[in-house]
Amino acid sequence: MTAPEPTRPGQVHSPATDIFETDEAITVLADMPGVRADALQIDLRDNVLTLTGRVLRQEGNYEAELLCEFQPSTFYRQFTLSERIDQSKIDAKLTAGVLRLELPKIERAKPRQIQVRTG
Amino acid sequence: MLVRRVWPGRPTFNASLSDFEQARQEMLRLFDSMANESPTSPSGVFPPLNVGQDEDNVFVRAEIPGINPEQLSISVLRNRVSIAGKREIQLEQGRAAYHRRERPEGSFSRTLTLPVEVDAERVDARYADGILTLTLPKAEAAKPRQIEVRT
């Protein structure tokens, strides 16, 4: 793993991710169960997209543990984007633990037909 | 007597060696699968569950991201809890080209046997941030009782 080690203890998981691309945008969908919007960081710089989501420990009364198959952990993943992204139009939505990130591409100059006039 | 061979035999002079090699490969594959397995679901089951209890309730939490709560079916009978459902991922229509498709979909079902009986009538289920939380009040008969000592 090339990523720097986190200072906070706990497990770091790579979220399961779907990525698809259309002519207009790249869309990233990532499963991050337990992550709330205020604990999710999305960072895009130098064409590297970084997703970091922290699951906060469930507050509540003292409970005796009977079975533990998942723990409050951190979701972390980086992607390199080959397309130029319009930073001002990025849209991120977090619903039921799934992040949907729309990364619109910068509009290229549209091909234009040039009429040649005869004079 | 019927003898079932674990590995298909090879009628060559080094058959024993190739059997051994195959066993070795199988071991390596097993080790690899263990190393790659996500620690969230140690036995490859879905959804991963956490179960806890305090004096009055049993809590069951399940990591089920991105599901419509109406697609969940939860049933409780005495000390058995079943969680079943279906996760559907709608593919993008049109000219979308997929680079990665890792998010799992499909039906799932798990049944748990709790250490105590619970009151099925008062079970509370909540779904938030991709986590399903069941609060199962313990049945009155299952609660500890203080016994007074007579002198």
- In tens, the pLDDT along B45-94 reads 788 998 998 888 999 999 999 999 998 999 999 899 999 999 988 888 77
- By the 8 A CB rule, do A44 and A80 touch? no
| Strand extents, DSSP E, B1-151 | 49-53, 57-63, 72-77, 80-87, 97-101, 106-113, 124-128, 131-137
- The pLDDT of residue B141: 83
Phi, psi of A117, deg, nearest 5: -90, 150
Alpha carbons A46 and B24: distance in angstroms, whole number: 45
Residues of B in contact with A100 (CB under 8 A): none
Residues of A in contact with B92 (CB under 8 A): 20, 22, 27
Using a 10 angstrom Cβ sphere, with 0-12 exposed, 13-18 middle and 19 or more buried, the burial of residue B85 is buried
Q: Give the number of other Cβ atoms within 10 Å of residue B115's Cβ.
A: 11
- The pLDDT of residue A31: 94
Alpha carbons B134 and B119: distance in angstroms, whole number: 12
Gyration radius of chain B's alpha carbons: 24
- The pLDDT of residue B146: 84
- The pLDDT of residue A101: 95
User: Which of A23, A68, A70 should be substituted to probe chain B, the one whose Cβ sees the most B Cβ atoms within 10 Å?
Assistant: A70
User: What's the rounded mean pLDDT across residues B26-30?
Assistant: 73
| Cα nearest neighbour of B104 on chain A | A16
User: What's the rounded mean pLDDT across residues B32-43?
Assistant: 53
User: What's the rounded mean pLDDT across residues B32-51?
Assistant: 66
Q: What is the pLDDT along chain A (119 residues), one digit of tens a residue?
A: 455 666 777 778 889 999 999 888 899 999 999 999 999 999 988 889 999 999 877 655 567 888 888 888 889 999 998 778 888 889 999 999 999 999 998 876 556 677 888 87
Most confident of the following: A94-103, B29-38, B138-147: A94-103
Q: pLDDT class for B14, splitting at 50, 70, 90?
A: very low
Gyration radius of chain A's alpha carbons: 20
Alpha carbons A104 and A109: distance in angstroms, whole number: 15
pLDDT tens string B99-124: 989 998 889 999 999 999 999 999 99
DSSP string, A23-70: SSEEEEEEE-TTEEEEEEEEEEETTEEEEEEEEPPPP-S--EEEEES-
- The pLDDT of residue B12: 42
* Residue among B94, B96, B129 minimizing CB distance to A96: B129
Residue B97 has pLDDT above 80, yes or no: yes
* Residue among A23, A65, A96 minimizing CB distance to B67: A96
Of B40-44, B98-102, B122-126, the least confident: B40-44
Alpha carbons A28 and A104: distance in angstroms, whole number: 11
Q: Mind telling me how many Å the CA of A117 is from chain B's nearest CA?
A: 37
